[in-house]
Structure 1
Amino acid sequence: MKKQLIIIPAYQPLESLVPLTKDIFNYFENVLVIDDGGGEKYAHIFTQLKDMGAIIVTHAINQGKGRALKSAINYCLLNPEIAKAGVITVDADGQHRPADIVKVADAMEQNPNDVVLGCRAFDTENVPWRSRMGNGISRKVYKWTCGINVSDTQTGLRGLPFSFLEIAARCEGEKYEYETNMLLDIKTNKVNITEVTIETVYENNNESSHFNPVRDSIRIYSIILKYSFASLFSALIDYIIFIIAHACGAKIMMATYIARACSCLINFTLNKNVVFQGKGNSAVQLAKYLVLVVISGTISGWAVTNLSALIPAVAPVIIKVPVEIILYLFNYTVQRTLIFSDKE
């Protein structure tokens, strides 16, 4: 029998959770199920699981998958003897077969300090469009924005070593964004990731999922939204000051430098503390950031100057807009990989 604790967050689960849990008990000694505020209508399911030997943690009201997982992890930290071999999180909708859960457990035993992800293949016909699209987008987005390269960013089948549980307990997010925020914390804390390939299963086209593609995607991609807000706010300041300086007689290059100088400190503060949450040396990061400001400003000023000469009918303040959009992508990549990187 495997020693890892199986954690199953469940909100208004299907009856199929009962036989799934029974099957899991054939391989694992302990199962912890979180009743995330399902109410009286679903109480009989959790009663059956309790009678089967599962530990039940109950929320009075629905609080979301992230909070449910953190409640389970908190239980483990208060009762460490049950989770010393690590924990494996499993979805309640039947996506994760007991054989695949065992594969994750085996990988944990071979890599005791790693986080193990059970990763699905998304090129099969039985994958619902929203899951295929969601994972495809999130893979590319998280590789570019966060430097995280995993084949299944949204998998709920995860093996977490006991040493990682305190980090997981502090991870931000109450709903589905918790799992993607966990990937950020894995990277920040330099924890290695091991992947195992699992069967791609969707019961009834994944109808039991409570994932909302619009609302939960906004939460998941919050880092991009934060960066966009910080950049747009700083760009607005930069743009206004550029217009004023240029109108007062400053040449394009000088007006660009003046505008950059005024907006850069605001942008640096927002990006360090809100977007990337950098924990490194602020003085070193600021020095690197100022170098980026000079380089970015020079490129912007050079591009606007030369494009204005090529297209004299278009005002420089108009030409500046597409130039800054291109630099937006350049600046983000440099800040993520070189300035606010977790590398020492």
Structure 2
Amino acid sequence: MIILIPAYEPDQQLPALIRSIRDAEPWATVVVVDDGSGPAYRDVFDAVKALGCHVIGYARNRGKGFALKTGFGFIADHLPGRNVVCADSDGQHTIIDILRVAAAVKSGSTAIVLGTRSFTGNIPARSRFGNNATRLLFTLATGQRISDTQTGLRGYPASMLPWLRSVHGERYEYELNLLLEAAQADYAITSVDIATVYLDRNSGSHFRPLADSARIYAPLLKFLASSFSAFLVDTVVFLALILITDSLLLAVLGARAVSSAVNFAVNRRLVFKHGSEKPAAQTGVRYFGLVVVLLAANFGLLAAFEALSLPVLPAKILAETVLISISFMVQQRFLFSRKNPAADPGQTFTEPSAAAHIRA
């Protein structure tokens, strides 16, 4: 097992965490990535070095995602074949929980292990709101229910390292992107319950509420915005055709033909990062096959709602809400997935300047 800790401008909680690791597991390998903290924090990293850690880094702040991928690169190059547990540097993950997550990671498995918090008790408002908002958007976009999408305590089998280095994102959005892309890479997501710890109201966090929230929510919001715009087109055309033809079937078929063409173009070019890697004709045939299936499901739901005397517009909204998650999962996993998820080695190891890597 290797414990990987990204750190930006850490306080004394970082050496305290390392000491607790050493007390519990004296021979554990710990890799600390200095995410461009600067000379003012050299004493903290020197203290970590003295406790027998590998310390690597680079001159300027690049973000948590970049730090994690740098750590994964170092481990792949210098400490291959070992499972990795990622923990935050601010003391919010106890050694007991770190070891529990480590124990849940099985060599040769294809499952990410998340240390999930319960968010009960005296939780900072921004942390509670941020997790609830991300969890809701994640569920709406993917249909998957993950209780703690923002946890920094995660375990990965050694075989995942190439894929971990290839996933897009350099800051806080990287960890959400991992969850969004896990399904298309055929990786499962499991969880272990951990304590919810916030020291001094989470004052040590470097999370920027506006900028970093925008980065985190972007992958979800892009799909939801694309789906919503297609929904608006579909609804307008649907209502117009209902008035013109007085035929539910013709209205559904005509509206879906127009809205699906719009949705395909937007998703392929703007929403899914790897959407344009495959030929448009090949992807288009599969996409419109999906449209036919969803169209049949949509028509069936609308007919059922009509039989229940539900007004046409609420029935339309309800049917689209039911089907949006299915659409996202199929498009991400099959239609617009990358050609080979693990082929790209991703970020290469950056030789540090502020804190040279050290063999413990």
Q: TM-score, normalised by structure 2?
A: 0.75
User: Which residue identity does 2:52 align to in structure 1?
Assistant: G
Moved more, 182-191 or 10-19: 182-191
2:294 equivalent among 263, 282, 292: 292
The residue number in structure 2 matching 1:316 is: none
2:182 equivalent among 183, 186, 194: 186
Gaps of 5+ in 2: 336-360
Say whether 1:169 aligns with 2:161: no
Structure number with larger C-alpha Rg: 1
Say whether 1:70 aligns with 2:83: no
The residue number in structure 1 matching 2:136 is: 140
Deviations 1:129-164 (A, max 9, x none): 222232233333323321333332111111111111
Deviations 1:4-56 (A, max 9, x none): 11111111111221121122233143211111111121122112222322212
Moved more, 287-296 or 4-13: 287-296
The residue number in structure 2 matching 1:53 is: 52
- What is the distance in 2 between the residues matched to 1:147 and 1:341? 13
Fraction of identical pairs, as percent: 35
- What is the distance in 1 between the residues matched to 2:45 and 2:238? 63
Shift in Å at residue 85 of structure 1?
2.3
Say whether 1:38 aligns with 2:37: yes
Aligned CA distance change for structure 1 residues 172 and 18 (closer, same or farther; 3 Å): same
Aligned CA distance change for structure 1 residues 333 and 103 (closer, same or farther; 3 Å): closer
- What is the distance in 1 between the residues matched to 2:301 and 2:106? 52
Aligned CA distance change for structure 1 residues 332 and 274 (closer, same or farther; 3 Å): farther
CA contact (8 A) 2:115 2:151 kept: yes
User: Which residue identity does 1:154 align to in structure 2?
Assistant: Q
The residue number in structure 2 matching 1:315 is: none
User: Which residue identity does 1:290 align to in structure 2?
Assistant: V
CA RMSD of aligned residues (A): 3.6
User: Which residue identity does 1:207 align to in structure 2?
Assistant: S
CA contact (8 A) 1:5 1:83 kept: no
User: Which aligned pairs between 1:115-134 and structure 2 lie closer than 5 A?
Assistant: 115-123=112-120, 125-134=121-130
Task: Give the match's secondary structure for 2:105.
Answer: helix
The residue number in structure 1 matching 2:338 is: none
Task: Give the match's secondary structure for 2:91.
Answer: coil
User: Which aligned pairs between 1:224-243 and structure 2 lie closer than 5 A?
Assistant: 224-234=220-230
1:336 equivalent among 314, 319, 328: 328
Shift in Å at residue 338 of structure 1?
5.7
- What is the distance in 2 between the residues matched to 1:192 and 1:227? 22
Q: TM-score, normalised by structure 1?
A: 0.79
Task: Give the match's secondary structure for 2:289.
Answer: helix
Gaps of 5+ in 1: 311-318
CA contact (8 A) 1:260 1:297 kept: no
Deviations 1:163-188 (A, max 9, x none): 11111111111111111111122222
- What is the distance in 1 between the residues matched to 2:256 and 2:106? 52
Say whether 1:212 aligns with 2:208: yes
Aligned CA distance change for structure 1 residues 295 and 252 (closer, same or farther; 3 Å): farther
Task: Give the match's secondary structure for 1:69.
Answer: helix
Moved more, 11-20 or 293-302: 293-302
Moved more, 252-261 or 84-93: 252-261
Aligned CA distance change for structure 1 residues 255 and 147 (closer, same or farther; 3 Å): closer
Larger RCO (alpha carbons 8 Å, 6+ apart): 2
User: Which residue identity does 2:214 align to in structure 1?
Assistant: I
